[in-house]
Structure 1
Amino acid sequence: MGTTTSAVLAKSALWDFGIQWGMWAISSALQTERFYDATGSGTFIYLALQSYQWGSSVKTKRQKVQTSLVVIWALRLGLFLMSRIFADGIDKRFNHVRDNPKVFLIYWTVQGVWIFLTLLPTLILNSEKNDVQVGTRDYIGWGLWGSGCSSKLLQIVKRVLSKLIPATRSTRKRSMRAPRAKCDHIKGKFINSGLWSVSRHPNYLGEILVWSGLYLSASSVFSGWQHVSVLSPLFVYFLLTRVSGIPLLERGGMKRWGSDPNYLEYIKNVPVLFPSLW
């Protein structure tokens, strides 16, 4: 006997925030952010799998694919972020935060909100008993997920390759003194080739495509209020374009390369997010 959608959402929210606040207590006591990203990725995986189990006893192909794609995305993200924090030692986002429990709690709570809203289509889908044959909408959605993950994977490959290139001791010392390259930029040089030649932030575009695709596929069986789960890609878009993603990198880019004519030409000709169609 499956659990109702409202029950699945309630259980998911309780587990989501319970995990975040529990790990906040541990991390706050240790004054470390090392568990933050791993906890976020792990919660995505846990809730995707649990909602799949909590739902109807008869599992549909759409539910199996959706759950698998979320798990794959979370594993990729989690491994990447964990390798980054252990390589860099600290996450500058948490400077003056990790030793302030009240402010630190806000960060963990925001992560809980991000997880729940982003997973909303998956949570609803996995609790849905109705089913329709997999069709064009699903294949387009899964295609968007694949396209989005490909652009994110390219970012990871670039970062990994940059760390595998042998460096002399003097190069290592210079790289330790230089600001750490973030997200779209590696070793202090801005990228303007490949996907970065048509979008300044293709990795973030990929993130938006991933969750837009998963909502599109899941919505094949949605009706009425369930379509409110379109908040998933909209919330991801809002976070990346208005809060913590693109604005921070754009300001950092201007601070680092604002005096470079090549960079100014680059930002003049290449769109911030969506590639130009003409």
Structure 2
Amino acid sequence: MSHVIPAVVEWFLERSTLGKLAILDFGIQWTGFAFAYTLRTEKFYDLTGSSTFLLIAYLTYKWHNSGHPRQLIQTGCVSIWALRLGLYLFTRVLKDGKDRRFDKMRGDPMKFFVAWTLQGLWVFVTILPSVLAVLSTRQRPLGTRDYIGWGIWLIGYLIEVVADYQKSSFRNNPANKDKFINTGLWSLSRHPNYFGEILLWFGLYVSASSTFSGWEYLTILCPLMDYLLITKLSGIPFLERYARKKWGLLKQYQDYVEHTPVLVPFFS
């Protein structure tokens, strides 16, 4: 391991594209922080993150496209996900008027800055396997691993899209005001949208790995980090606390929690 870290650092520094993308990524987030803190709003936080995904995917493809279909498909998968989710989250926060995640940090410049910095880290780490796949000069013919990876991405993407649509439809019905959703995919998992998100990034790692060699396989840590971020830090824990506070005393919600897996359908 002592030889791996210096080799990774040296490899990173030699790849000017990765350095440029990292600078661009964090530059966008810190600029977004400056505007957001000045205006005292977090409404374009998620839109900034998704736009950064789109820009990094586009520039990587533009700078290193050799005409191989893997590069186009991998870039397309990232872009489709980022465009759809970014617009969905932006329209939702505009409708809600705020993002509850920022209630305790909106007026604290340090916490607010950390949130934007973490988004930059999340963007770069999450997209890294796909960036490496497009950068690679080892563009082998498309094979089983590519199709399996893209198949997993498609399943995860569809789960996320359907879950978001079901929740939006539920919330838009006045009869469901102050109620929790427990129908559709939400009857199989308390957070099916996050399950879909985790699944699709693991799928993109699998397809990207068709070009990998040596330490590049260690970027399996990228979708693992995404999983840990969602399940341990900013996603599920926050929503679970909010739900317990709002519906925890309701017998119906207690039964829902007891019989519905928190993330993976059919696995408690």
Q: 2:16 aligned with 1:7, yes or no?
A: yes
Q: Equivalents in 2 of 1:160, 1:271: separation in Å?
A: 21
Q: 2:85 aligned with 1:77, yes or no?
A: yes
How do 1:36-51 and structure 2 match up within 5 A?
Answer: 36-51=45-60
**Equivalent of 2:40 in 25, 31, 45:** 31
Q: Equivalents in 1 of 2:171, 2:185: separation in Å?
A: 20
Q: What SS does structure 1 have at the residue aligned with 2:15?
A: helix
Q: 2:90 aligned with 1:89, yes or no?
A: no
Determine if contact 2:101/2:238 at 8 Å carries over to the other structure: no
Give the total of aligned pairs. 256
**Post-superposition CA distance 1:143-202 (Å, at most 9, x none):** 11111111111133224434655x5xxx8xxxxxxxxxxxxxx74322222222222211
Q: Which amino acid aligns with 1:216?
A: V
Q: Which amino acid aligns with 2:100?
A: K
- Tell me what 1:137 maps to: 145
Determine if contact 2:167/2:181 at 8 Å carries over to the other structure: no
Q: Which moved more, 1:27-36 or 1:108-117?
A: 27-36
Q: Which amino acid aligns with 2:73?
A: V
How do 1:1-278 and structure 2 match up within 5 A?
Answer: 6-55=15-64, 57-162=65-170, 165=173, 167=174, 187-276=177-266
Q: Which moved more, 1:59-68 or 1:193-202?
A: 193-202
* Structure 2 spans left out of the alignment, 5+ residues: 1-12
Task: Give the TM-score normalised by structure 2.
Answer: 0.89
Q: Which amino acid aligns with 2:230?
A: L
Determine if contact 1:5/1:128 at 8 Å carries over to the other structure: no
- Alpha-carbon offset, residue 71 of structure 1: 0.5
Structure 2 CA distance for partners of 1:246 and 1:277, relative to 1, 3 Å: closer
Shift >3 Å, 4+ stretches: 162-165
Q: Which has the higher contact order (CA 8 A, sep 6+)?
A: 1
Q: Which amino acid aligns with 1:65?
A: I
Q: Which amino acid aligns with 2:101?
A: R
Q: Which amino acid aligns with 1:19?
A: I
- Alpha-carbon offset, residue 5 of structure 1: 7.5
Determine if contact 1:48/1:70 at 8 Å carries over to the other structure: yes
Structure with the largest fraction of helix: 2
Determine if contact 1:202/1:273 at 8 Å carries over to the other structure: yes
Q: What SS does structure 1 have at the residue aligned with 2:264?
A: coil
Q: Equivalents in 2 of 1:99, 1:22: separation in Å?
A: 17
**Post-superposition CA distance 1:220-246 (Å, at most 9, x none):** 110111112212210110011100111
Q: Which amino acid aligns with 2:247?
A: W
The root-mean-square deviation of aligned C-alpha atoms, in Å, is: 2.0
Q: Equivalents in 1 of 2:103, 2:263: separation in Å?
A: 28
